[in-house]
Amino acid sequence: MLVALTEDGNRIYADEAQKKDQYGNRNKFYCPDCGSELTLKQGTKNIWHFSHKDGNTICIFRKGKKGESIIHQTMKKKIKEIIERDNEVIVSELEWKIGSRIADYYCELKVHFGNIRKVAIECVHQHNDIDEFRAKSKYYYDRDIYCLWIFNLTRFLDKDNSFKEEVRVNEIIKEAHTSYFGKVFALDIANEIIYAIHLSNILRETESVTLYDEWGDEYDVGGESYFLKGTKSPSPVLVNELKLNKFTRKKADTFLGYNRSICMVDLPKWW
């Protein structure tokens, strides 16, 4: 986790925290969710972060026995930097608690007529729980908060870091692709850039074979077209600026007799 509470109850980021105060006394840090004491880790290999001193602590920040991965934490930090670079935000926070949920990143920005747009961004590194995806998305929607899921770009890359010609997609990618009008968003951590990736169906054809019936007459079998299941062809487009105020509900969508999103009712869809 990247955020902790000081003994005074103030939020502080790991890259701003000091292990000792000006008098040489050890500073103490606490979890914003469960209140347990945290350890500040400021090493040279990984992003600076906090971890629970008690490895058995049950907390919303602890995902699995080892807690949140360093890659996931790095994604959150990079996304915060990108959003602040490309938008005029009035609130910008990592690991922001919203009721019973904690958003990876949360921000607010002014839009037309002085209105405030609230945005929660969730990072997807190895996450595959479609039920959690649906529940969290609806939770934000019910509170008038836009939700944008951003995937780790490595899902779409070969070992040589070029885009794959064919990508296996899970239910989360499918539903994000539907909700954002035929695009999913992915973060290139190393270069700190975002891609919008359209996923197209892949058409295949069964092999055509010539056979002979009992009278010696020829007939062909196969040669039928079909779409690959669970596999798509990615078409990436670099997003030069991730302007959140350009994400609006499509006017045409209000006239449809059905909802394009297959997972949530009346979900405001972006792009």
User: In this structure, is residue 211 part of a structural domain?
Assistant: no
Q: Within its chain, how far is the Cα of 43 from the centroid?
A: 26
Asked if residue 78 and residue 63 are part of one domain, the reply reads: no
Asked if residue 136 and residue 90 are part of one domain, the reply reads: yes
Asked if residue 131 and residue 20 are part of one domain, the reply reads: no
**Residue 7 CA: distances (Å) to CA of 52, 55, 97:** 16, 21, 19
* pLDDT recorded at residue 29: 95
pLDDT along the chain (271 residues), means of 10: 90 91 90 89 85 80 66 94 95 94 94 87 89 91 91 95 94 89 92 93 85 84 82 93 76 49 51 51
Q: Is there a contact between 61 and 68 (Cβ–Cβ < 8 Å)?
A: yes
Domain stops at, among 68, 86, 106: 68
pLDDT in tens, 93-112: 999 999 989 999 999 998 87
- Structure tokens given for 17: 């925290």
Radius of gyration, CA atoms only, the chain: 23
Asked if residue 136 and residue 267 are part of one domain, the reply reads: yes
What φ, ψ does residue 75 adopt, rounded to 5°? Answer: -60, -45
Asked if residue 109 and residue 94 are part of one domain, the reply reads: yes
Burial (CB count within 10 angstroms: exposed 0-12, middle 13-18, buried 19+), residue 15: exposed
Q: Which helix (H) or strand (E) holds 80?
A: helix 70-86
